Structure 1
Amino acid sequence: MKALKALIVFFIFTGISFAQDAKVEANKVTQKEVAPIWPGCEDSKETKDCFNSKMNAFIKENFTYSQDADGNWVRGKSTVSFTVDEEGKIINVETEGPEAIVNKEVERVVKSFPKLKPGLRGDTPVTINYTMSFNF
């Protein structure tokens, strides 16, 4: 009978011990990550929304629709990927889409983005990769 009680106590404490280990693992402290910030959005409470609206306004203002050899406006979808480096500069711009002339214009506009406040991990600037699709 004593052996049975000892065995039950052993299983209870072993179970509690494992549960505590799992809690410790689940409560690890991680560093906060902050996305790059568009100029003028530094004091905004919603930096993501501000980033998107400022970027969209920039694209609308700077994108030039192209014409083909027949004088028709060229429209299409383009997917662009780029990196915001540790200094807030736009690098590694690549475009993909069926209309080469649209891709070229998207690349030009993205490369002309203003210098951003870089993304952070903790207090350290880090590179952040973006991929976006645009329909023109």
Structure 2
Amino acid sequence: MRPKKNPQKDLNKKSGMFFVIGLLLVLAMVYTALEWKTFDSLKEYDLALNKTDTSIEEDAPIFQLQVTPPPKPPVLPTEIEIIEDDDPIEETEVIAIEVTPDTEIVDVKDFEVIEEEEEVKVIWSTIEEVPVFPGCENEKDKRACFNDMMQKHIRKNFRYPELAQEMNIEGRVNTTFMIKNDGTIGTIQKRGPHDVLEKEAVRILSKLPKMTPGKQRGSAVKVSFAIPITFKLQ
């Protein structure tokens, strides 16, 4: 029995080669597609737009500054008005100090010398005769009597400030005051924990009576006295 197909025209013999060729073509196309690179196209600019048109002429603007003229000098009046002054003019007599052979010599005894008494201040511990508190005139120890009367005066006039009570303020106020040479109370200095307590201490001391002034070498002098005032809440 003879075959129906021509063996020379049998395509199955070369199918393997065609498959390999096709596979190579596909691989080449895939590789080309993966490695394909694109670049942006270069843009060209027209530089003619940046050129300056020489036909256009521009002049810089000119500013004119106005200068203020200087003020005119005042014109003096042709006539001067004289105003009479009724106030008397006190003239000071000038004594010539030029010495000549005819100058009269003045004796020193003709001048009166006025000596100003130097104000003496003595502290309490060194005063010879302490100031006398009213009521201590007949006491032998006037220092002790003075201290007792001071304590009585403080207790009598003592008043605890309401603001200090509300704020729970307490403490000691150290005070120093001056007994002048006329027996009155002078400057009062104070130092304490609060202004309210200091004002109260000044108020108490300002009520002190006039005293007999202290004496140093028989002359009345100023005497400083220090005493603390304690404010304590019960």
TM norm structure 1: 0.71
- Match 1:85 to one of 170, 180, 184: 180
Question: What is the match of residue 229 of structure 2?
Answer: 134
Distance in 1 between the 2:182 and 2:133 partners? Answer: 13
Which range moves more in the overlay, 61-70 or 90-99? 61-70
Question: What is the match of residue 52 of structure 2?
Answer: none
Residue 140 of structure 2 corresponds to residue 48 of structure 1: no
Q: Is the 8 A contact 2:170 2:193 kept in 1?
A: no
Residue 211 of structure 2 corresponds to residue 116 of structure 1: yes
SS in 1 for 2:163: coil
SS in 2 for 1:110: helix
Q: Is the 8 A contact 1:78 1:103 kept in 2?
A: yes
Q: Is the 8 A contact 1:80 1:96 kept in 2?
A: yes
Question: What is the match of residue 99 of structure 1?
Answer: 194
Count of residues in Structure 1 that have an aligned counterpart in Structure 2: 105
Question: What is the match of residue 93 of structure 2?
Answer: none
Runs (4 or more) in structure 1 with deviation over 4 Å come to none
Question: What is the match of residue 16 of structure 1?
Answer: none
Higher Cα radius of gyration? 2
Give, as a single letter, the amino acid of the residue that structure 2 aligns with 1:55.
M
Distance in 2 between the 1:66 and 1:74 partners? Answer: 9
State the structure with bigger RCO (CA 8 A, min sep 6), 1 or 2. 1
Q: Is the 8 A contact 2:178 2:185 kept in 1?
A: yes
Superposed displacement of residue 71, structure 1: 2.9
Q: Percent identity?
A: 30
